[in-house]
Amino acid sequence: MDILNAIILLLNYIFIPALTYGSQLALGAIFVTLIYGILRFANFATGDMMSFGTMMTILFTWYFQSLGISLGVLPTALLAIPFAVICMIFYMLFIDKFVFKYYRFNKSPPVMLAMVSIGVMFVTQAVVRIIIGPDDRRFFDGERFLIKAGEFKEMTGLNEGLALKSTQVMTILITVVLVSILFWFLNKTKTGKSMKAYSDNEDLALLSGIDPKRIVMITWIIAGILATIGGVLYGLDKSFKPFTYFNNMLPIFAAAIVGGIGNPFGAFLGGYVIAFSEIFLTYAYKKFFMYVLPASMEPESLVQLLSTDYKFAVSFSILVIVLLYRPSGIFKGKVL
């Protein structure tokens, strides 16, 4: 029984949260790698663009709730996402037309575009704070838990309870479906193959008759979908606070670089690598060892490698190690 309790403990506090968090990071990392692979610059506004998309979802959610419209056991935010995605796409295309297009037309170096994206980051962050404010916003409604810890204990007779939130299941399922559709689109459709060709060799793609304006527009559309859905899933699972999304930029970039910048599949797996690393290294294992070790060997300390305050330090350390020893990432070779 103690072994089962130990397994349930790890599932409850490490594996399920890491899968959920990793799915959210994965969508942001694919956003980063898509922009880098096709538009050829590091977009440091990623976190705040996710924040903008989430803000629009919250505003539409509040509007639907004021009309008495809901999805019952499911969050009303799921109904608001399509409208928020449209707003996010318009915002991104607006930013591209009046900001990034100028530097792209003048063949500016990638570092200049990266610096411009920092300006876009601060502007987007200011817009979000002006519209919705800097405070914590909880916009979840519907059924909160699919399984409650107390109910699980009663059913199994174990000391440890397993709590499974509906947001965790939604996050994992939506991420898998969305990423599967994206990979199918990039690998099987004519447009997806054109995007790959444009990424591999822009001049050759132009000679082949590929329209660069169309490729850029589709890239921003896909990025808008990823940013909005990734941001909303994070907000539903935790809460919405603009500065939190800014902080998430580090683990998102770490995930993209660990997986191999320019490689969507690598970015997808990189999200889980970062999430599991952060949670594994900051979890206190005292209770786990109390289950698996004899009473005479039970630890007195928390058995915690790092405090949760250093969670982002884990991402930064992994990022530095990868850049030093394997700068091409886990999956070497650009596939976009």
Q: Tell me what pLDDT residue 210 has.
A: 87
pLDDT, one tens digit per residue, over 127-143 is: 999 999 988 888 988 88
**Mean pLDDT over the full length of the chain:** 91
pLDDT, one tens digit per residue, over 76-107 is: 999 999 999 999 999 999 999 999 999 998 98
Q: Is the pLDDT of residue 333 over 60?
A: no
Q: Tell me what pLDDT residue 335 has.
A: 58
In the predicted model, what is the mean pLDDT of residues 211-216?
A: 92
Q: Tell me what pLDDT residue 46 has.
A: 94
pLDDT, one tens digit per residue, over 34-64 is: 999 999 899 999 999 999 999 999 999 999 9
At 261, the amino acid letter reads I
Q: Tell me what pLDDT residue 96 has.
A: 96
208 or 25: which leads in pLDDT? 25
Least trusted range by pLDDT, from 10-14, 129-133, 232-236, 330-334? 330-334
Answer whether 0.85 is exceeded by the pTM.
yes
In the predicted model, what is the mean pLDDT of residues 265-274?
A: 93
